[in-house]
Amino acid sequence: MEPFRAADGSLCLMMLNISGGMVGSDRLTTEINLGAGAQAVLTTASAAKAYRSEGAIASQHTVITLDENAVLEYLPDHLIPHAGAAIEQTLKIEMAKGSRSIVYDAMAAGRIGRGERWQFRTITSEVAISQSGRPRYMNRARIEPASQPLADLGWMENCNYLATMVMAGDDDHDWTGLAIALHRALQGIRGVQGSASWIAHGGCVARFMSVSADALNRTAMKLWAIARRDLLGLEGFPLRKF
């Protein structure tokens, strides 16, 4: 959609993919490049949907490159896998020197309102962030509800949504201080369980589970506002959705 600017001048672009949703054998690839010194907030119009597939899986792959001193804020809505859905998704981000990023990734346990909790076939997901060729963050997960006790103690228990927010940049930022601020923000939020920690080099990560989509979205916006203020010196703003 046509980009719009926040009050502080930030450029926000709302992406329409994955349109109406993904079915078996769909292959979606998105490539994004931010030039030197560019700054953009990328979000989506609504949650992504993956529909039932009795055969081949659907896949979506996103590759984002940041040139020197570029700033990426990547805040797509969560994935909703319908009963019987099978999907593979990857997000790869390559950052140049001086660039910074705030990256959000989330999923639902299914169509909660339809009683389809943990009824999808499989989700395979990978998020990889590197800077100047050096790995900063990598997470790989495969969820197969039929073979995993997701409702049991120590797994998702009563929560229906799972989210991760990663902040990455140069080593000289106070990542420990940001991680502590994010951790504190996650404590005491009704219907949310989560924490945050710094990572080995140039970044920190927050992870949380929530009971409802409303709690998921509001918590994500709260963490984004904290990270944005700390990393960019800017305030959060409404993305015209929540």
Apex CA 150: angle with CA 145 and CA 153, to 5°?
Answer: 165
Q: What's the rounded mean pLDDT across residues 21-26? A: 92
Does 237 reside within a domain? no
Contact 176, 195 (CB under 8 A): no
Confidence class for position 26, pLDDT limits 50, 70, 90: very high
Does 16 reside within a domain? yes
Instruction: Write the pLDDT tens digit of every residue in 122-133.
Output: 999 999 999 999
Identify the bridge partners of residue 125 per DSSP, sorted by sequence position.
Answer: 89, 141
Closest to 54 measured CA to CA, from 121, 144, 148: 121
Does 48 reside within a domain? yes
Confidence class for position 218, pLDDT limits 50, 70, 90: very high
Does 239 reside within a domain? no
Does 240 reside within a domain? no
Does 165 reside within a domain? yes
Q: What single DSSP character describes residue 164?
A: E
Does 54 reside within a domain? yes
Does 242 reside within a domain? no
Contact 224, 104 (CB under 8 A): yes
Tally of domains within the chain: 1
Residue 30 domain boundaries: 4-232
Instruction: Write the pLDDT tens digit of every residue in 86-123.
Output: 999 999 999 999 999 999 999 999 999 999 999 999 99
pLDDT value at residue 149: 84
3 state SS of 140: strand
Averaged confidence pLDDT in the chain: 93
